[in-house]
Structure 1
Amino acid sequence: MTAVLTTVAGSAPAQQGAAAGGPAFTLEQCVQYALRNQTNVVNARLSRQMSTEKIRETRGKLLPHANVTGNFTDNLKLQTSLIPDFTGDPNNKIPVQFGTKYSSGVTGEVTQTLINSDYFLGLKAAKVYDELAVRDYQRTAIDTRVQVSVAYFNVLVSQESIRLVDANLAQFGKTLKDTRARYDEGVGERIDVDRIQTSFNNVETQRANLQRQLDYTYDVLKFQMGMPVDSAITLTEDIRSFTDDMPDSMNYKFMDRPEYAMQRVQVELDRLNLKSKKLEIIPTLNAFVNYGFNWFSEDFGDLYKKGFGTSALGVRLTWPIFTGTERIYAARQREITLQQSQNSLNYLAQQIQLEVRNNWTQYRNNLASLNTQQKNMELTQGVYDRVVLKYEEGVATSLDVLSADSELKTAQNDYINALINTLISKVQLDQAMGKIKAE
């Protein structure tokens, strides 16, 4: 197929359209530009940075925590208590009030976690989340590669369409000129001139439409790259650059697909969630040390004249011995979730295999169609050339020329459609087999 494509695409210009004159880009350069500037990729990169900060946040929980607590109280009415009259009748209760009208205190405390299963599991989970963010970035980058490649191919195919139409215009222009000359000399008919002029006008309109379509494909390419749409860009490659390296086998590993890696990470996260729930029975042990001052006074102005220090050092143990049955059933739910994730992983492996087979079939069908349509286009081109020659010799009519031209246009359109379908299906096959990498 490569040799045939060379004869058709070899003379295609490297650049056509209103976007000419901008910086030159190969496909790989377009992809690299997109990986730096495309919004989805930039956001995926930011998510990757966020996961790094999440790990640091989790690590920070293992460091000592210090806080200061302050309070001020105005006892508008002190609470009254009844105490026995120890100086007289013990059965007689005397109302008394303890405390002062104003009180204030400030305490600083430092705590350090000694045992807490959630902290250490959380640190491991944060690393798994980081891997998930990496895989998500890879998937986004691969999708961007595919989108940029498809947009790039659409531009090249639009250029090829214009090249073929320009060739038709040149052929028709010569035929129209010769027909008008014969009519002016009195050896031709006006009806032949009008027929060929009508067809020539249609080709000119088609050329203008294709030019507008080409301009739009450039805009789509720049959008997929993350480049301002009003920028100028030049493509340095042609169709032939991408038809010499067609896959000829289905050698692949479904583990190379980022989707599979992401699902495998999800299984690990669900396993950690289950483990976290089961380890809730483990006690939490914290060490603490604090120091503070308390102030008391009946008059607000004298409140902070004299303070009383206080300090404590100790450990605090929390052991959830029994919390009902909710932990048991919550753990069972997480076991089910883990099993679902594992089932999804197995299902995804089968789905990838089926997707590869489907894309392989589509690619082979499109490739066979491209070879056929290319041969058909060459054959109809030969038929057209012979009919024009006969027309110039006077042994064919203008209707024969128009009929041959119609068949040539149909063959060219079929070729263009087969060409873009083959290129796109090749990219989709590479993506399905995990051969397209993020970087």
Structure 2
Amino acid sequence: MVCLTAVLTTVAGNTHAQQGGATGPAYTLEECVQYALRNQNNVVNARLSRQMSTEKIRETRGYLLPHANITGNFTDNLKLQTSLIPDFTGDPNNKVPVQFGTKFSSAITGEVTQTLINSDYFLGLKAARVYDELAVRDYERAAIDTRVQVSVAYFNVLVSQESIRLVETNLAQFGKTLKDTRARYDEGVAERIDVDRIQTSYNSVEAQRANLQRQLDYTYDVLKFQMGMPIDSPVAVKENIRSFTDDMPDSLNYRFLDRPEYAMQRVQVELDRLSLKSKRLQIIPTLNAFVNYGFNYFSENFGDLYKTGFGTSALGVRLTWPIFSGTERIYAARQLALTLQQSENNLQYLGQQIQLEVREGWTSYRNNLNSLNTQEKNMALTQGIYDRVVLKYEEGVATSLDVLSADSELKTAQNDYINALINTLISKVKLDQAMGKIKAE
């Protein structure tokens, strides 16, 4: 890239910026980014989501560990159930009513179960790991977006400073011309109308300077917001525009996987594939082992209920095999297969979209860069024209209208240069983002 010439040379010496008349701690762009990665809301939330995915993996692993529980019950048989049994003391054909049980009963049982076979548990563990990768990619995307937003805000501050510098240069030039014109008017060489014309233009430049200062203050507020810094905190920037005038990037040297969005879509394909596999494996039986031990208590009086307990224990396995559960599993599996196909189609489409974004970004950056070089030359030319017109005006060859016309052309060239400058810087960041060259850390 063609280096910026004298227009940027003055800016290269600036190391601090003012906001509202007070200076604050000075940051480089990378320091602003690192601050944002620690404090910006979206990045903080993405980091919390990453931690949640870690806990999700631990939760899924917990399903495979033994589970123990204790159950207890107490029953007050307000009225015992009555059954009819043969009269063994008399005629067996006669039925006599008999009540079984006791008024009070209670049972306490402890049981330990261990999953031996369960396809959902093992697939769930794998899915949790994939979900963790998705959280990692989501954090990377949030961090990259934050880098881009902070970079754009930082560049806006630098461009606002450059705008103020150019306006202050104009103000100094006009101040000298106004002073000379007043002196010539006092000597009777210039007319009052010349003084008023130049004074009017000088006032406009002063107003523009005040507006740009307020705009600079706002760009600092935007920068602090993107950094996750309190708006009332003082801050300044260390670097200058020339620090970011690198060579044109190679638009062909990039990979789809460098884009977090593409990696996230690949993870989504894997999650959909696991969901389909899980649904298809629901036909596999579930096998659990268990062992329990407990006590049963019986008594006619509540006070004597827990004096004597009768132990009970069991050891065994429990098999659950869904032989037939309707046809919903078949159609649910078909839906998941279609969902998987959609995810694969989205992955292919995203690859084409990234290619188009890179080409668009490269075209935009090259056009803006060409415009910046042109506007830089035009500004230098109009500055030379303005200087020569002022010189002729001081020699009495040119009129005040010629000075104002040259000044108007210079302002237009400066505005065009400023617009081309910010467009070039932003399009460079956007191109790097499209190519996946902006990293999370």
* Fold conserved between structures, TM > 0.5: yes
- Counterparts in 2 of 1:126-145, with a 5 A limit? 126-145=128-147
Q: Which residue of 1 aligns with 2:195?
A: 193
Q: Which residue of 1 aligns with 2:107?
A: 105
Distance (whole Å) between structure 2 residues aligned to residue 309 and residue 91 of structure 1: 37
Farther off after superposition, 78-87 or 223-232: 78-87
Do residues 403 (structure 1) and 405 (structure 2) align?
yes
Deviations 1:96-118 (A, max 9, x none): 21111111111100000111111
Q: Which residue of 2 aligns with 1:21?
A: 23
Q: What amino acid maps onto 1:290 in structure 2?
A: N
Distance (whole Å) between structure 2 residues aligned to residue 91 and residue 337 of structure 1: 69
Deviations 1:40-63 (A, max 9, x none): 111111111111111111111111
Once the two structures are TM-superposed, the CA of residue 16 in structure 1 deviates from its matched residue by 2.9
Distance 1:248 1:66, change over 3 A: closer
Do residues 322 (structure 1) and 324 (structure 2) align?
yes
Q: Which residue of 1 aligns with 2:86?
A: 84
Once the two structures are TM-superposed, the CA of residue 372 in structure 1 deviates from its matched residue by 1.2
1:112 partner SS: strand
- Of the three residues 348, 351, 356, the one matched with 2:350 is 348
Q: Which residue of 2 aligns with 1:203?
A: 205
Q: What amino acid maps onto 2:437 in structure 1?
A: K
Q: What amino acid maps onto 2:364 in structure 1?
A: Q
Q: Which residue of 2 aligns with 1:61?
A: 63
Distance (whole Å) between structure 2 residues aligned to residue 21 and residue 213 of structure 1: 16
- Counterparts in 2 of 1:357-376, with a 5 A limit? 357-376=359-378
Distance (whole Å) between structure 1 residues aligned to residue 24 and residue 338 of structure 2: 57
- Of the three residues 285, 288, 299, the one matched with 1:286 is 288
Deviations 1:55-84 (A, max 9, x none): 111111111000000111111111222222
Do residues 7 (structure 1) and 6 (structure 2) align?
yes
Once the two structures are TM-superposed, the CA of residue 358 in structure 1 deviates from its matched residue by 1.1
- Counterparts in 2 of 1:196-235, with a 5 A limit? 196-235=198-237
Asked if 2 retains the 8 angstrom alpha-carbon contact of 1:116 and 1:284, the reply is: yes
Do residues 336 (structure 1) and 352 (structure 2) align?
no
Distance (whole Å) between structure 2 residues aligned to residue 75 and residue 283 of structure 1: 40
Once the two structures are TM-superposed, the CA of residue 22 in structure 1 deviates from its matched residue by 1.8
Deviations 1:366-395 (A, max 9, x none): 111111111111111111111101100001
Distance (whole Å) between structure 2 residues aligned to residue 7 and residue 88 of structure 1: 127
Q: What amino acid maps onto 1:7 in structure 2?
A: A
Q: Which residue of 1 aligns with 2:155?
A: 153
Distance (whole Å) between structure 1 residues aligned to residue 31 and residue 311 of structure 2: 70
1:305 partner SS: coil
Asked if 2 retains the 8 angstrom alpha-carbon contact of 1:15 and 1:159, the reply is: no
Asked if 2 retains the 8 angstrom alpha-carbon contact of 1:6 and 1:240, the reply is: no
2:5 partner SS: helix
Asked if 2 retains the 8 angstrom alpha-carbon contact of 1:161 and 1:210, the reply is: yes
Distance (whole Å) between structure 1 residues aligned to residue 125 and residue 95 of structure 2: 60
Asked if 1 retains the 8 angstrom alpha-carbon contact of 2:251 and 2:435, the reply is: no
**Moved beyond 6 Å, runs of 4+:** none
1:304 partner SS: coil
Deviations 1:410-438 (A, max 9, x none): 11001100100010001000000101011
Q: What amino acid maps onto 1:288 in structure 2?
A: F
Distance (whole Å) between structure 2 residues aligned to residue 80 and residue 202 of structure 1: 106
Once the two structures are TM-superposed, the CA of residue 87 in structure 1 deviates from its matched residue by 3.2
Once the two structures are TM-superposed, the CA of residue 86 in structure 1 deviates from its matched residue by 3.1
Distance (whole Å) between structure 2 residues aligned to residue 94 and residue 309 of structure 1: 32
Q: What amino acid maps onto 2:16 in structure 1?
A: Q
Distance (whole Å) between structure 2 residues aligned to residue 191 and residue 430 of structure 1: 54
Q: What amino acid maps onto 1:336 in structure 2?
A: L
Distance (whole Å) between structure 1 residues aligned to residue 252 and residue 162 of structure 2: 30
Distance (whole Å) between structure 2 residues aligned to residue 383 and residue 89 of structure 1: 136
TM-score (norm 1): 0.98
- Where does structure 2 lack aligned partners over 5 or more consecutive residues? none
TM-score (norm 2): 0.97
Deviations 1:288-341 (A, max 9, x none): 111111111111111111111111111111111111111111111111111111
Distance (whole Å) between structure 1 residues aligned to residue 6 and residue 246 of structure 2: 13
Once the two structures are TM-superposed, the CA of residue 15 in structure 1 deviates from its matched residue by 2.8
Q: Which residue of 1 aligns with 2:385?
A: 383
Distance (whole Å) between structure 1 residues aligned to residue 5 and residue 51 of structure 2: 46
2:194 partner SS: helix
2:64 partner SS: coil
Q: What amino acid maps onto 2:146 in structure 1?
A: T
Q: Which residue of 2 aligns with 1:35?
A: 37
**Paired-residue identity, %:** 85
Once the two structures are TM-superposed, the CA of residue 249 in structure 1 deviates from its matched residue by 3.5
Distance (whole Å) between structure 2 residues aligned to residue 262 and residue 208 of structure 1: 47
Do residues 163 (structure 1) and 165 (structure 2) align?
yes
Q: What amino acid maps onto 1:190 in structure 2?
A: R
Q: What amino acid maps onto 1:84 in structure 2?
A: P
Distance (whole Å) between structure 1 residues aligned to residue 86 and residue 346 of structure 2: 74
Q: What amino acid maps onto 2:283 in structure 1?
A: I
Farther off after superposition, 359-368 or 80-89: 80-89
Once the two structures are TM-superposed, the CA of residue 365 in structure 1 deviates from its matched residue by 1.2
Q: Which residue of 1 aligns with 2:395?
A: 393
Distance (whole Å) between structure 1 residues aligned to residue 362 and residue 136 of structure 2: 28
Once the two structures are TM-superposed, the CA of residue 248 in structure 1 deviates from its matched residue by 4.4
- Counterparts in 2 of 1:271-310, with a 5 A limit? 271-310=273-312
Q: What amino acid maps onto 2:134 in structure 1?
A: L
Asked if 2 retains the 8 angstrom alpha-carbon contact of 1:286 and 1:315, the reply is: yes
Instruction: Give the total of aligned pairs.
Output: 438
Once the two structures are TM-superposed, the CA of residue 229 in structure 1 deviates from its matched residue by 1.2
Asked if 1 retains the 8 angstrom alpha-carbon contact of 2:251 and 2:359, the reply is: no
- Where does structure 1 lack aligned partners over 5 or more consecutive residues? none
Q: What amino acid maps onto 1:16 in structure 2?
A: A
